[in-house]
Amino acid sequence: MRSSTPKPLHRLAGRPMVAHLIDACAEAGFGRAVVVAGPEPAFAPMRAVVAPHPCVVQHDRLGTAHATLAAAEALAATRGEAMVLYGDVPLVRPATMRALAARRRETGAGLALLAFRPADPAQYGRVILGEDGFVTRIVEWRDADAAERAVGLCNAGLFCAPAADLLRWLRQVGNANAKGEYYLTDIVAIARAEGARVTPAEAPAEEVLGINSRAELAAAEAVVQRRLRAAAMDAGATLVAPETVFLSWDTRLGADVTVHPNVVFGPGVTVEDGAEIRAFSHLEACRVGPGATIGPFARLRPGAEIGAGAHVGNFVELKNATLGEGAKANHLAYLGDATIGAGANIGAGTITCNYDGVAKHRTTIGDGVFVGSNATLVAPVRLGDGSFIAAGSTITADVAPDAMAFGRARQTDKPNRASAFRARCKEKG
Amino acid sequence: MRSSTPKPLHRLAGRPMVAHLIDACAEAGFGRAVVVAGPEPAFAPMRAVVAPHPCVVQHDRLGTAHATLAAAEALAATRGEAMVLYGDVPLVRPATMRALAARRRETGAGLALLAFRPADPAQYGRVILGEDGFVTRIVEWRDADAAERAVGLCNAGLFCAPAADLLRWLRQVGNANAKGEYYLTDIVAIARAEGARVTPAEAPAEEVLGINSRAELAAAEAVVQRRLRAAAMDAGATLVAPETVFLSWDTRLGADVTVHPNVVFGPGVTVEDGAEIRAFSHLEACRVGPGATIGPFARLRPGAEIGAGAHVGNFVELKNATLGEGAKANHLAYLGDATIGAGANIGAGTITCNYDGVAKHRTTIGDGVFVGSNATLVAPVRLGDGSFIAAGSTITADVAPDAMAFGRARQTDKPNRASAFRARCKEKG
Amino acid sequence: MRSSTPKPLHRLAGRPMVAHLIDACAEAGFGRAVVVAGPEPAFAPMRAVVAPHPCVVQHDRLGTAHATLAAAEALAATRGEAMVLYGDVPLVRPATMRALAARRRETGAGLALLAFRPADPAQYGRVILGEDGFVTRIVEWRDADAAERAVGLCNAGLFCAPAADLLRWLRQVGNANAKGEYYLTDIVAIARAEGARVTPAEAPAEEVLGINSRAELAAAEAVVQRRLRAAAMDAGATLVAPETVFLSWDTRLGADVTVHPNVVFGPGVTVEDGAEIRAFSHLEACRVGPGATIGPFARLRPGAEIGAGAHVGNFVELKNATLGEGAKANHLAYLGDATIGAGANIGAGTITCNYDGVAKHRTTIGDGVFVGSNATLVAPVRLGDGSFIAAGSTITADVAPDAMAFGRARQTDKPNRASAFRARCKEKG
């Protein structure tokens, strides 16, 4: 990856890939997860990402079986089944996890492994089946003969077994091989030597895509986006050009919501029924009320709350701001740390000056207020209900309800001076 | 669809899908159309969409033949041929419609039906042909035997026949079936029973895609966009990345127009020869003159008229506004209800205050006017030719030609006070 | 193409396609290039595009051999090998060029030609091989018999041979054919008649795509973009949605740079390690320092230099401007011809008025300056280190270090007047 960030902490649809996997486990019915992390400082954020699930550290990198044994304590404390997954194979669906577990129980096998049929099997380990359909062995590509290489079924490396059995097998894995590593795959032979049967369960190749480069990361992102878009459309949203809409893992779109081309949703966004998100909009950690219209070219930052039927137009940014029902901020505005009442009209070029260089302050705009264009509202400031702010004003003090406030200079003209001024500029230039 | 909008009124390339179909009929040479609509209030907008073509209501939903009979009066009044299409199968091309009609005439058949070969025939009805190449019957998937299911030719459900014959056959369709419905497909057997031959005409599967979900709606949009982009490039426009340009059904791009990535065209846009539309621009119901440059990040709303060689730059919005030949509005501006003369220069941050909370007013800017940055122009207002508006001014009264106008406060400085102010803010914070 | 611009001057990834080809030649080890151009005035820009390589003019269009002979002087002066390429076949990779030359030498052939296997061979000329694997002849589709048409190997028209041989063969090409043209392909037969062997070298079909329409131009752009994106990801940048990122031929992205969806890079951009380019950003001829954050909705124009860890937020444009280390310009600003110090904070709506209608002037903002929102800075102007500009101010004179500057009117309120004003507006409206 050429990255200082560990692979499982790279993001898909707005959150670390390992978090996708943990959620899928929970949805599949696995009650707890234990995450094995590397010892490097770069893994430090992992603990917070996977909480409340615990994180254990593999101090030396001695192979996949050795890594799994870092979770030995948890395995020993588990009565039911355990599943081994990889932080850099994040696309396994809950249904596939459930199918893997069910397959083991239904076939009476001791161990189930996930297999797949890649378009190009290349150098994957091949899954060799006996006549009874159970696995006889996994053969690595370099050890395989021509007949074995012709097998299309490959080993994805994911296993499911009763936790106690898994732990026992893991402890028998040796490292008498070229690299001196403990390989998880060896549990297949160990289980079979105990008399246990090993069953394959097949998964779509897309789900067991491992991520080892930025290109594979992008390919995985594409898979996740395709799933999220399909789910949003199934739930009743229109995505005019779904391939141009980027969703987060937790984006919620109501019924008859329309999303136009080129919209990006960061984490934490809810859009209620019938709202319209126009092209080139960017939303993060915000809520859009029913029937509201956003964009084009709108930016909703964390804490933006848009009321029912409200309008946010082009080149408008809201941050930690509430826009009341039916209120409008249609053009070129920055509304930060603000509360804006129902039916208010925010003119083009309006800026809430929420920051004095040291602290943030709040702007409160009442119901039905008219804020003229290019107004500068110096917070903390409060505009009473129904008040009117003249265009071009800088407002530094509270305005009473129904008052008109002016904070601009009078116009003065100098007749017949423009051409003289231009001539002077030319001389100087 | 999980939608409160009837399927034929969902939009493709900016207009209801049924409108696409009606235009295609006209282009194929069918002189009139009759649209059968459901009785629900949600169908009310249909009448305006299809006008001047009439809309008839099918009060009970008793099947496709019953629906077609809602247009019985029109069929009875028609001397020539009639074609039956579906409001949710909107991608049939005029050439395909003409081919369907021609095929009937050329083969001497009484009835022609549109057939297609889907990648996965699934549960479509199969078109069974005799040795003479004419249709012997349509067999529904559930009634088909293995040999019939192996047939790849499927029934798209579209028919063409002389109107009088069609009407007679429709009236013979019965409802003695499991659902008690009147099926249009039954006219195949009825026509044959009369001795008429039934010919198939094959269409690309893409054209007879029916739209039953948001995902299929998005797929149809993709087909329409592909057609529109190809036509625009054929006509001599460069689309740098065509898959990122969204066109409307009526977008007109001149020769040697260049459209950069990520541009959205709403309905009603004309771009004249040699103009350049840069990335992240959004245009609706506007006209861009020859050689003009728009964007990146420009928004042209309805009524924007951009003169030859004029420039509209980033974060600039025009609405109901004319920008004269060679004029420039390069940065961060809102120009609404405005007339701007040739060669004028509109500074960054300029806002036309066209709305006083009640009504809209007009701003008129003469030829060669220089509007300084962050100017606030309170309409109605008129800036004479060659006048000069100082930066930061609020202008509330007309400015004479060649005058310089100021509407800003004088600067006053408080030496050595910034650090003290910061300290005070910190104490308060 | 329906274009007034000659094909080789149409752009791919931000520069004329012929320039791509010239660079590939150099990378392949060919020390000099000679470009043959048409005689029309539209070819005039060619000379600058290909400099320092010379451009020769083919005055009459008498075929490809005739065009190549326009470079006869250069061929006569060349001791080593020469390669014939086409300005409208710009995607040939250096490795393919090298392989073409190497193939000739390794096989002892006198002439090497580039061949390819298109998905649909259509009417391309077929390359007919003898049993020894050498070319026996090129047969045009219209002259080919059924067996020859079944051959999948087609002639791309690119040749490599010692320059002296090439020149001699070119001079023997005649024009005794239907169109009376001199065809380059004829050198195959001429070389063979001399006893030279002719070897094919195969290239991926994608590389020899000829560009004859806007659609093919767009397809070639897609190929170039795919290559550039893959190279950027290999080098350690994360492209969240690579298919939405448009790169220029010279874009440089450092390690652990993240590029979000929908970003457009014009020519001349360098992004240093760890910087983040958020969605909907547009960059040209600028430099982004390590760890800086750009966008969403940011526009960096030529000459923008962003310091380490600095922030450029939404609807902000920089042109010919330096933003110091850790400085912030987060919202709605135009910063042109400006130098901004480290740690400065530029408020929302700030505009540098760099243009007086005649010339451009510079704004200099010191370290740690706080520029309040909606400030209008009339250049030339200098804000001293640590100074503070009040929100809404127009600043026309230099501000001393640590001074506070105000340039705005005092606020005045008119109690209980807003509703009366509205009533009056309604009467007038």
DSSP B94-140: HHHHHHHHHHHHHHT-SEEEEEE--SS-TTPPEEEE-TTSSEEEEE-
Instruction: Identify the pLDDT of residue B286.
Output: 98
Confidence of residue C31 (pLDDT cuts 50, 70, 90): confident
The distance of B239 to chain C (nearest Cα, Å) reads 7
For residue B33, is pLDDT > 80? yes
- Across chain B, mean pLDDT equals 95
How far is CA A268 from its chain centroid? 9
CATH number of the domain to which B314 belongs: 2.160.10.10
The residue assigned the tokens 């408008």 is A316
Interface test with C, best of A11, A286, A299 (most C CBs within 10 A): A299
For residue B429, is pLDDT > 70? no
Residues A145 and A269 in one domain: no
User: Is the minimum CB–CB distance between B357 and chain A shorter than 8 Å?
Assistant: yes
Describe the crossing of helices B214-234 and A214-234 by its angle, rounded to 10 degrees.
120
For residue A2, is pLDDT > 80? no
Q: Is there a contact between C175 and C63 (Cβ–Cβ < 8 Å)?
A: yes
Selecting from B2, B351, B356 the residue whose C-beta is nearest the C-beta of A236 gives B2
Q: pLDDT for C32-51, tens place per residue? A: 999 999 999 999 999 999 99
* 3-state DSSP assignment of residue B300: strand
In whole angstroms, what is the distance from residue B348 CA to residue A347 CA?
A: 16
Would residue C331 show up in a list of annotated catalytic residues for this protein?
yes
Instruction: Identify the pLDDT of residue A343.
Output: 98
In whole angstroms, what is the distance from residue C424 CA to residue C417 CA?
A: 11
Residues B169 and B261 in one domain: no
Q: Is there a contact between A383 and A371 (Cβ–Cβ < 8 Å)?
A: yes
Residues A224 and A373 in one domain: yes
In this prediction, what percent of chain C has a pLDDT beyond 70? Answer: 100
For residue B117, is pLDDT > 90? yes
B165-173: average pLDDT: 98
Say which residues have a Cβ less than 8 Å from residue B413's Cβ, sequence separation at least 6: C397, C399, C400, C403, C404, C405, C406
Cβ neighbours of B348 in A, within 8 Å: none
Take residue B159 and report the two structure tokens written for it. 């028919």
Residues A218 and A198 in one domain: no
For residue A301, is pLDDT > 90? yes
Residue C4 to residue B256, Cβ atoms within 8 A: yes
Confidence of residue B425 (pLDDT cuts 50, 70, 90): confident
Take residue A121 and report the two structure tokens written for it. 């099997």
For residue A122, is pLDDT > 90? no
Q: pLDDT for C58-73, tens place per residue? A: 999 999 999 999 999 9
User: DSSP assignment of A351-400, as one string?
Assistant: EEE-B-SS-B--EEE-TT-EE-TT-EEESSEEE-TT-EE-TT-EE-S-B-
C157-180: average pLDDT: 96
B214-235: average pLDDT: 95
In this prediction, what percent of chain B has a pLDDT beyond 90? Answer: 93
Q: What is the pTM for the complete model shown?
A: 0.94
Residues B191 and B51 in one domain: yes
Confidence of residue C233 (pLDDT cuts 50, 70, 90): very high
Beta-strand (E) ranges in C69-182? Answer: 81-84, 111-116, 126-129, 135-139, 154-162
C356-368: average pLDDT: 94
For residue C19, is pLDDT > 80? yes
Residues C218 and C199 in one domain: no
Of B350 and C356, the one with more pLDDT: B350
Confidence of residue A3 (pLDDT cuts 50, 70, 90): confident
Assigned domain for B410 exists: no
* The residue type at B193: A
What's the per-residue H, E or C state across C148-164? HHCCCCEEEEEEEEEHH
Assigned domain for A85 exists: yes
Residues C56 and C162 in one domain: yes
User: DSSP assignment of A240-307, as one string?
Assistant: SSGGGEE--TT-EE-TT-EE-SSEEE-SS-EE-TT-EE-SSEEE-S-EE-TT-EE-SSEEE-TT-EE-
The distance of C24 to chain B (nearest Cα, Å) reads 22
Nearest to C112 by CA among C173, C206, C191: C191
Residues C115 and C231 in one domain: no
A358-386: average pLDDT: 96
Confidence of residue A425 (pLDDT cuts 50, 70, 90): confident
A280-303: average pLDDT: 98
In this prediction, what percent of chain C has a pLDDT beyond 90? Answer: 93
CATH number of the domain to which C51 belongs: 3.90.550.10
In whole angstroms, what is the distance from residue B182 CA to residue B68 CA?
A: 10
For residue B274, is pLDDT > 80? yes
- Alpha carbons within 13 angstroms on the beta-carbon side of residue B419 total 9
Q: Is there a contact between C53 and C171 (Cβ–Cβ < 8 Å)?
A: no
Q: pLDDT for B36-75, tens place per residue? A: 999 999 999 999 999 999 999 999 999 999 999 999 999 9
Take residue C263 and report the two structure tokens written for it. 């970003």
User: DSSP assignment of B253-274, as one string?
Assistant: E-TT-EE-SSEEE-SS-EE-TT
* B-proximal residues of C, 254-313, CB under 8 Å: 262, 264, 280, 282, 297, 299
Per-residue burial over A365-376, b if 16 or more Cβ lie within 10 Å, else e, is bbbbbbbbbbbb
Residue A304 sits in which domain range?
214-405
Nearest to C111 by CA among C173, C159, C79, C78: C159
For residue A184, is pLDDT > 80? yes
Q: Is there a contact between B397 and B381 (Cβ–Cβ < 8 Å)?
A: yes
Which run of H or E residues covers position A135?
strand A135-139
Cβ neighbours of C373 in A, within 8 Å: 334, 351-353, 376
Q: Is there a contact between B341 and C368 (Cβ–Cβ < 8 Å)?
A: no
Describe the crossing of helices A17-28 and A94-107 by its angle, rounded to 10 degrees.
50
Assigned domain for C299 exists: yes
Residues C388 and C361 in one domain: yes
* A-proximal residues of B, 197-226, CB under 8 Å: 213-215, 217-218, 221-222, 225
Assigned domain for C414 exists: no
* The residue type at C31: G
Neighbours of C, requiring at least 3 CB pairs below 8 Å, are A, B
- Across chain A, mean pLDDT equals 95
Q: What is the DSSP letter of B399?
A: B
Q: pLDDT for C132-164, tens place per residue? A: 999 999 999 989 999 999 999 999 999 999 999
User: Is the minimum CB–CB distance between A396 and chain C shorter than 8 Å?
Assistant: yes
- Name the region of C328 (left: φ>0; alpha: ψ -120 to 50; beta: rest): beta
B148-159: average pLDDT: 95
C412-427: average pLDDT: 91
Residues A185 and A298 in one domain: no
* 3-state DSSP assignment of residue B12: strand
Residues A117 and A256 in one domain: no
- Across chain C, mean pLDDT equals 95
**Helix and strand totals (H; E) in chain A:** 10, 34
Q: What are the Cα distances from residue A367, in Å, to A327, B269, C322?
A: 9, 37, 42
Take residue A27 and report the two structure tokens written for it. 């949805």
C85-91: average pLDDT: 96
In whole angstroms, what is the distance from residue B385 CA to residue B368 CA?
A: 6
Instruction: Identify the pLDDT of residue C350.
Output: 98
Describe the crossing of helices C214-234 and B214-234 by its angle, rounded to 10 degrees.
120
Phi, psi of B234 (to 5 degrees): -60, -35
Neighbours of A, requiring at least 3 CB pairs below 8 Å, are B, C
Take residue B398 and report the two structure tokens written for it. 């007309």
Instruction: Identify the pLDDT of residue C429.
Output: 63
What's the per-residue H, E or C state across C42-84? HHCCHHHHHCCCCEEECCCCCCHHHHHHCCHHHHHCCCCEEEE
Nearest to A239 by CA among B213, B265, B214: B214
For residue C3, is pLDDT > 90? no
| Residue count of chain C | 429
Instruction: Identify the pLDDT of residue A429.
Output: 63
Selecting from B278, B345, B373 the residue whose C-beta is nearest the C-beta of C376 gives B373
Nearest to C352 by CA among C389, C390, C374, C379: C379
- Alpha carbons within 13 angstroms on the beta-carbon side of residue B383 total 34
Per-residue burial over A78-100, b if 16 or more Cβ lie within 10 Å, else e, is beebbbbbbbbbbbbbeebbbbb
Confidence of residue A314 (pLDDT cuts 50, 70, 90): very high
A187-210: average pLDDT: 96
Domain boundary among C155, C176, C203: C203
Residues A158 and A39 in one domain: yes
User: Is the minimum CB–CB distance between A332 and chain C shorter than 8 Å?
Assistant: yes
The total number of structural domains in chain B stands at 2
